[in-house]
Copies of this chain bind each other. A is one copy, B any other.
């Protein structure tokens, strides 16, 4: 993907969406194949827990033959995998919703692809021995605080579950390195989950407990928050947000960028889809016609794919609207508007970047 590296000159620092707890956005115009750790978006729900690797343990319990308590050294001794995996916040793009949505108003930078190193969750679950009839695997972090949960008010830990089948897949692992170095505190030191293909809320940080259950888990963070209205026979049910939706995002031009008229301009961005690969990215600069962009490098499962498109910018000055849309191997294409059943999550409608041709 080296074609894209030339773009990396532009770096603007993280954008503050909330100071405390820290919610920081990557300036997407700084897109590079791998997002540097210090520019990777930060999503926290509570204060960042201070955990030393020496004191950290991971408890594996519930529907298992053998309860486990692993130390950091135990984890490091297990066979590891390393892979670039995209994480996108389920609310990425929320600033594009009109009227103004509640919650953190992420624009396009609550997404990144880093190279993660860790132990497949399946290896740890196999070591513990999952009992027959197990359904869900709850991942619990050390981060905690008060939430407005009618079912269990008060202080709770952040936790999310995976169906057992997903938990056993190779793209789900317990990561202790990000881009070749120990995790930083804001990204889950010492150990976090990485759940490839799913929105970021599943990749629980500061992971301390893995609990296998015989019944579906219905925690706050998947039945109220990070949940959308799924309609089955017209009856809407709040359902956990899971798989990342297909999306293309434009890094260049940036919003309101001054683009010289009468010259070629390299429109540049990234595209991704949760458990599928992107097969096509199209760009529109006139609001009517779409032209195919070039996919750069090779397709890597669970990472984004960079793309570029040569725009032959007209001589006529004025405002132009640049759009991109992606299609994945399952044939899914981005919608033209946001489905309100998704509430303020899974925002993947194709919107325009307005620029000024000068």
Instruction: Report A's interface with B, CB cutoff 8 A.
Output: 9-20, 24, 27, 29-30, 36, 38-39, 95-100, 105, 107, 253-258, 356
Contacts and interface: CB of A to CB of B under 8 A. Distances in A.
A252 to B, nearest CB: 9
Given A13-B254, A15-B107, A38-B257, 19 more contacts: A10-B11, A11-B254, A12-B27, A13-B257, A14-B254, A14-B255, A14-B256, A15-B15, A15-B27, A16-B96, A16-B255, A17-B105, A18-B105, A19-B95, A19-B97, A20-B98, A27-B27, A38-B258, A38-B356
Nearest to A15: B15
A155 to B, nearest CB: 17
Contacts of A98: 19-20
A236 B62 CA distance: 59
Q: Most chain-B Cβ atoms within 10 A of its Cβ — which of A10, A24, A36?
A: A10
A27 B97 CA distance: 21
Contacts of A105: 16-18, 105
Contact of A99 (B20, B256, B257): B20
A24 B100 contact: no
B258 A95 contact: no
A19 B96 contact: yes
14 contacts: A9-B9, A11-B29, A11-B254, A11-B257, A13-B253, A13-B255, A13-B256, A14-B254, A15-B27, A19-B96, A20-B100, A27-B27, A38-B256, A38-B257
A16 B108 CA distance: 10
A269 to B, nearest CB: 13
Contacts of A257: 11, 13, 38
B17 A29 contact: no
Contacts of A100: 18-20
B12 A12 contact: yes
Contacts of A95: 16-19
Contact of A9 (B10, B17, B19): B10
Contacts of A256: 13-14, 24, 38-39
A100 B19 CA distance: 7
User: A-B pairs with the 10 shortest C-beta distances?
Assistant: A13-B254, A12-B12, A13-B255, A12-B29, A16-B95, A12-B27, A38-B256, A14-B255, A20-B98, A16-B107
A11 B259 CA distance: 13
Contacts of A14: 254-256
Contacts of A24: 255-256
A126 to B, nearest CB: 37
A208 B13 CA distance: 39
